[in-house]
């Protein structure tokens, strides 16, 4: 089994300027490059299951995507999702879901298995956080251009990633099933369920 990611260039070709091209040949390098490696398996006739994942809930802990406080002290979630949805899963559920694939033996060889734990709009993410934090979280979407201009390392790549996921909301609803993932992993967590045990690890400024 090979854990992989989608090639965003299938939907945002390099010769189109709808999304900036990065490093001369990628749209979202950490997705596209991972998908390129799929070819090594197919070219060499390796019997493989392509195990395709999505955005991690855990990114809200480790990558500066947590809500921040505005001047009035309100927690604000700034993501460039517009009205689209973000496909997500807990990192620990990736391992448990992979175990479910292994338990099926050779039946998935040659197939792509997509896993997902939840699929939420920015408002849905903020609502789940509001419940978990015990105070309101307001989703205030920023534009892709604003997010790219934030200037932190990887801002352009992450903006492209959010553009890809949110633009393909209907595609992900068609190809990624929470119910099918739960068949592999009965302990699969929704985003609100994951927050019950992990909200305190998200580095927001708490009220005194």
Q: What is the mean pLDDT of the segment spanning 64-85?
A: 94
Class of domain 2-200: alpha beta
Say what percent of the chain tops pLDDT 70: 98
Residue recorded with tokens 């105070």: 135
pLDDT interval class at 63 (50, 70, 90): confident
**What is the residue-averaged pLDDT of the chain?**
95
pLDDT for 41 equals 96
Whether 123 and 136 have beta carbons less than 8 Å apart is answered as: no
pLDDT for 208 equals 39
Residues 26-62: tens digit of each pLDDT: 999 999 999 999 999 999 999 999 999 999 999 999 8
pLDDT interval class at 207 (50, 70, 90): very low
Residue ranges of the domains in the chain?
2-200
Q: What is the mean pLDDT of the segment spanning 143-161?
A: 94
What token pair was written down for 110? 């040659």
pLDDT interval class at 206 (50, 70, 90): low
pLDDT for 201 equals 95
């Amino acid at each position: 089994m090979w854990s992989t990611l989608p090639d965003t260039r299938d939907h945002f070709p390099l010769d189109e300027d709808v999304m900036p091209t990065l490093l001369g040949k990628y749209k979202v390098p950490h997705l596209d490059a991972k998908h390129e490696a799929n070819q090594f398996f197919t070219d060499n006739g390796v019997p493989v299951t392509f195990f395709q994942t999505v955005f991690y809930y855990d990114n809200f802990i480790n990558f500066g995507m947590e809500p921040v406080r505005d001047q009035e002290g309100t927690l604000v979630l700034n993501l460039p999702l517009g009205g689209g949805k973000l496909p997500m899963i807990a990192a620990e559920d990736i391992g448990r879901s992979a175990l479910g694939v292994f338990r099926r033996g050779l039946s998935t060889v040659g197939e792509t298995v997509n896993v997902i734990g939840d699929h939420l709009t920015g408002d849905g993410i903020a609502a789940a956080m509001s419940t978990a934090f015990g105070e309101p979280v307001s989703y205030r979407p920023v534009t892709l251009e604003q997010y790219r201009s934030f200037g932190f390392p990887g801002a352009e790549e992450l903006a492209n990633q959010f553009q890809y996921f949110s633009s393909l909301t209907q595609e992900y609803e068609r190809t990624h099933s929470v119910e099918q993932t739960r068949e592999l992993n009965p302990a699969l967590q929704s985003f609100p369920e994951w927050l019950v045990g992990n909200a305190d690890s998200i580095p927001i400024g708490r009220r005194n």
